[in-house]
Amino acid sequence: MKRVIYLVVLSLWGEYLIALYGISDDIMELAYSRTMIFCIAAPAMGFVNTMSAYYQAINREKAANIINIGRCAILATLAIILSPLIGAAGIFYAQSGADLCAILIVLALIPRREKAKV
């Protein structure tokens, strides 16, 4: 929930908060755009980290490791692919993309319960 609040705060007052550091306008614009790219997937990152901790707590370490290693592998792959294509912004998009793809990994690991036969 905190990550959603951060996203809303940065969306509304991000330029003002970044301007507190006393940087030039062109760097402020760059910092704001990169921060917004990063914050788009912040709720996804929170969900993935929570589910990984949950799986560790219920002694499903293998599932937790699959989530974390899968996210890192996707992040590295996307960073290698996107950074030459769109520059430094590719790194930020790679992190957002990895977090969103990690949700798919989490959903795939949720155990499917068979319907009770009546």
What digits encode the pLDDT tens for the residues 6-30? 778 877 887 788 888 877 878 888 8
Question: Is the pLDDT confidence value at 51 over 50?
Answer: yes
Distances (CA, A) of 109 to 16, 43, 44, 68, 74: 41, 19, 16, 12, 17
59-110 pLDDT, tens digit per residue, is 988 999 999 999 999 999 999 999 999 988 888 899 889 999 999 999 998 8
Domain residue limits, the chain:
1-40, 43-111
pLDDT band at 3 (very low <50, low <70, confident <90, very high): low
pLDDT value at residue 7: 75
Q: Cα separation of 36 and 41, whole Å?
A: 9
Question: Is the pLDDT confidence value at 114 over 50?
Answer: no
51 vs 8, more confident = 51
User: Taking each helix axis from N to C terminus, what angle separates 2-19 and 25-40, rounded to the nearest 10 degrees?
Assistant: 180
